[in-house]
Amino acid sequence: MESLKRTRIVEILGEKMAITAGTKVNLKGWVRTKRGNKSVAFIALNDGSIIHNIQIVVDLSVFDEQTMKLITTGSCISVNGVLVESPGQGQAFEVQASEIEVYGTADAETYPLQKKGHTLEFLREIAHLRPRTNTFGAVLRIRHAMSFAVHKFFNDRGFYYLHTPIITGSDAEGAGAMFRVTTLDAKNPPLTPSGEVDFTNDFFGKPTNLTVSGQLEGELGALALSNVYTFGPTFRAEKSYTPRHLAEFWMIEPEMAFYDINDNMDLAEEFLKYLVNYALDNCMADLEFLNKMYDNELIERLRFVTGNAFQRLDYTEAIDILMASGQKFEYPVDWGTDLQSEHERYMVEKHFKKPVILTNYPKEIKAFYMKQNDDNRTVRAMDVLFPRIGEIIGGSQREENLEKLTNRINELGIPEKDMWWYIDTRRFGTAPHSGFGLGFERLILFVTGMANIRDVIPFPRTTQNADF
C-alpha cells in the first residue's frame, strides 16, 4: 500500500474542513457498517476524532472478494483514496477507495456491537468496547473538552494547579466513608496486646485511606500561593445506588485566600457558566447528537444556564419555600434537616426555574471547617443546585479564627492530634479564605444530558463493580 500520512476524519468533516476535494488521503478507523450491491460497497468509517462517519466508496471490480469479506462491522482498516464531494445527502465528502488494508477483523457472530440501539445497561457490561459507540464517543470527547476547559479557566485567572495526595493519613474530613489502604495481611494482621489491628507495622506505620477530598491540603496551598485548585480522583466508600454517586469520582477544588463567601459564589457561577459555554462553543456536533438521541431540551437548557443569573438565597428561606410548597416529599423537611435531591430539584426545577445557590446552612449538617456566623447556628456554606442534578457544587468560606476552629473540632470530638497541621495555618498567618468542590461527573451529567453517572466516566466504580 502506498504510504501516506494519516488524516483524521475530523480534518475532513469537522468545522475547519482543512482538506479539499481531489486530495489523496489515508484514513484509518473502525467500520461501523458496510452495505452496497454487487458492484459497489459503502463503508461507514469512524476514527473517534468526530461523531460523524465518513463514507468509503469501494468499486468491487478492483478489490478482491477475499479482502472485502474481512471488512465487517467492528473491523479496523486503513484506506487510501481520493476525497470527492459526496453526491448523496447528509455529508459533504466521501472517499473513493484505491487501496485497503485490514488491520483487525471482528467476527460478525461474536462482536457485541453488531447492531445499533443497545441499552445503556448492556453497554455498561461491555465497558471495554462501549467507547466505540456514538454515545460514548460523544461523552468521552466532551469529558476531555471539559477537563481542558477547567485547566484553562484557572490558568487564565492565575490559579496554580496543586497536586494533593491520594493516600491520606487523616480521616477527619468527614465527607464520606473511606477506603482503607494497607499492605497488611487481611487474613492474619498483626495485633496489639488488646486485640486491635496493629497499624504500626503497616506500610505507613499508621492507618491510611484513599482521599475523599483534596480540600484540606488545598487550603495549605491557598495560604501560600493565594489561588490554587486541585483536580484529581476522590474516593467514597458509600453504598449508594443513586444515579449521581460513584465510589471513585473526580473533583475540582479551587481554594482562594482573601475570598469571602460572596466572592466564592461569584467564582462558582462564573466557572460553571464558562464550562457550559466552552461545551457549546467546542462540542456542538456531539451535543447535537445527544440532544437528538437522549434529551431534546439539552442544548436549550445549557443556553439557559449560561444566560441567566443564578438565584441566591439562604437555607432558611429555602426551608420556608419548601414547607409552604404543598409538595409531598419522600423526606419531610424542616429547619435543620439536610436537603435531599428531591428538595433541591424542586427549588431549581419548579420554584425558581433556574440554578440556585443556597447559603448559611445549619452548622450541624455541615463540616467543621466552615466559617461560623454570629447567630451561632449557621455556617457560611454554599451549595450550587442544578436542574436534573441537584447539588453540583459544595463549598464554603472557611473558619480562619484559631479559637473558633479548635472549639468546633473539640465539640465534634475530632482528635486534634490528627489535625495539628491544618490548625497550624490558623496559628501562623491566617487569612480569610474560601473554596468549593465541583464533582466532575456531575458536571458531565449536566452537560451531556445523560441520566446515569455510570455513563459519563469511562470505567465506573460502584459497589460490587470494579471488573475492569
Tell whether residue 355 is a contact of Mn ion (CB under 5 A): no
Q: Pick from Mn ion, ligand ATP, none: which does 439 bind, CB < 5 to 8 A by kind?
A: ligand ATP
Query: What's the closest the beta carbon of residue 72 comes to ligand ATP, in angstroms?
Result: 38
Tell whether residue 246 is a contact of ligand ATP (CB under 6 A): yes
**Taking CB under 6 A as the criterion, which residues in 363-422 touch ligand ATP?**
391-394
Question: Which one of 30, 249, 271, 422 is in contact with ligand ATP (CB under 6 A)?
Answer: 249
Helix (H) or strand (E) holding 422: helix 416-427
Nearer to ligand ATP, 131 or 233 (CB): 233
Select the span of 156-164, 178-186, 298-306, 436-444 touching ligand ATP (CB under 6 A). 436-444
Instruction: Name the residue number minimizing CB distance to Mn ion.
Output: 394
Tell me if 267 sits within 8 A of 259, measured CB to CB. yes
Helix (H) or strand (E) holding 396: strand 390-397
Query: What's the closest the beta carbon of residue 31 comes to ligand ATP, in angstroms?
Result: 36
CB-based contacts of 411: which residues, under 8 Å, 6+ apart?
none
Q: What DSSP assignment string belongs to 365-392?
A: GS-TTBPBPTTSSEEEEEEEEETTTEEE
Select the span of 286-294, 302-310, 318-326, 433-441 touching ligand ATP (CB under 6 A). 433-441
Query: What's the closest the beta carbon of residue 300 comes to ligand ATP, in angstroms?
Result: 23
User: Applying CB under 6 A, what is the total number of residues that bind ligand ATP?
Assistant: 15
**Taking CB under 6 A as the criterion, which residues in 152-181 touch ligand ATP?**
175-176
CB-based contacts of 67: which residues, under 8 Å, 6+ apart?
100, 102
Report d(CA 266, CA 270) in Å as an integer: 6
Nearer to Mn ion, 44 or 175 (CB): 175
| Nearest CA-CA partner of 265 in 385, 150, 163 | 385
Tell whether residue 236 is a contact of ligand ATP (CB under 6 A): yes
**Rounded to an integer, what is the distance from CA 238 to the centroid of its chain?**
18
- What are 105's three cell numbers? 477483523
Please measure the distance between the N-terminal and C-terminal CA atoms of the chain and give it in whole angstroms. 37
Q: What are the backbone angles phi and psi of residue 127, rounded to the nearest 5°? A: -60, -20
Q: What are the backbone angles phi and psi of residue 366, rounded to the nearest 5°? A: -125, 170
Query: What's the closest the beta carbon of residue 44 comes to ligand ATP, in angstroms?
Result: 35
Tell whether residue 439 is a contact of ligand ATP (CB under 6 A): yes
Report d(CA 175, CA 183) in Å as an integer: 24
| 3-class secondary structure, 29 | strand
Tell whether residue 394 is a contact of Mn ion (CB under 5 A): yes
| Nearest CA-CA partner of 362 in 343, 334, 341, 340 | 334
Q: Pick from Mn ion, ligand ATP, none: which does 82 bind, CB < 5 to 8 A by kind?
A: none
Nearer to Mn ion, 150 or 438 (CB): 438
Question: Which residue in this structure is represented by grid cell 448492556?
Answer: 122
Question: Which one of 345, 433, 442, 454 is in contact with ligand ATP (CB under 6 A)?
Answer: 442
Query: What's the closest the beta carbon of residue 6 comes to Mn ion, in angstroms?
Result: 46
Tell whether residue 439 is a contact of Mn ion (CB under 5 A): no
Binding residues vs Mn ion (CB under 5 A): 394
Binding residues vs ligand ATP (CB under 6 A): 175-176, 236, 245-246, 249, 251, 391-394, 437, 439, 441-442
